[in-house]
Amino acid sequence: MITEHERDAVTAPVPVAGPQDPTTALPTSPGKAILAQMGGWPGVVYTNVPAIVFSTATASLPLLTSLAIALGAAIALAVLRLVVRKETLVSASGGIIGVAAAGAITVWTGSARDFFLVGIWMAFAATLVLVATLVIRRPLTGMAWGWLYGTQFDWRGDRRSRRAHVVATAFAAVVFAGRFAVNQTLYLADSTGGLAAAKVVTGFPLTALMGLVVIWAFRRSTQRLIKGART
C-alpha cells in the first residue's frame, strides 16, 4: 500500500538544472587581485622601506654598504611577510627583486640617485600606455573590466560606464605623470634624499586614491551592466 506521502514524493516534479548564469559568481576585480598579489595595502607600504633605508644610509656610508643594508632590509621584510603575515612567495619576494634590480643599476653607474631610476621610468611607461588607451578610445580600466567579465557586456555601449572608465584611466594617467615629473626633477637635481621622500609621498597615498577611483569605475559598470540586467 502506497501512502499519501510516498505518492506525493513520486509525483513531485523533479527539478531540472537550467543553463548556468555566467553572472552568478562575479569574479574578483583586477585591482583587488593585483593588490592581493602585492600583499594588500601593507605590501604597498613595505616597498617604500628599502628606499628610505638606502637614502638614509648613503648620507654617511659608502654606496656598496648602503646597498647591502637596503637589500638586507628587503630580505628581512620578505621573511616577515612570509612567516608572520603568511603571504605568498611571489608577493613577499617582490621587494627583494626590485631592490636587487635597482642596486644592479646603481653599482653599474656608481650614482646613488640611480637607485630610483627603475621606478621613474616605470611611471613614464605607465603614463604613455594610459594616455594611448584614451587616445584610441579604449580606456585601460574599461578594457580590464571587459576582459574580466566577458564580451557579452558592452561597457563601451553604455555611456555612463564608458565615461567612468575614461575618468578612472585619465586619473591614473595624471597620477603616474605627476609621479614621473616630480621624481625626474629630483633625479636631475641629484637629490637622493628628495627622491626617497617623493617615493613615499607619491607612492602609497596617490596609489590608494587611484585605487579608489578605479574601484568606483568598476563598481559603476558592474552595477549598470550586470546587476542592473538581473533586475
Over residues 130-144, the pLDDT tens digits come to: 999 999 999 999 999
The structure's pTM equals 0.75
Kindly list the domain boundaries of the chain, sorted by start residue.
Answer: 42-110, 113-231
pLDDT in tens, 161-200: 999 999 999 999 999 999 999 999 999 999 988 998 898 8
Q: What is the DSSP string of 110-173?
A: --GGGGGHHHHHHHHHHHHHHHHHHHTT--HHHHHHHHHH-TTS-TTTSHHHHHHHHHHHHHHH
What pLDDT score does 17 carry?
36
- What average pLDDT score do residues 63-84 get? 91
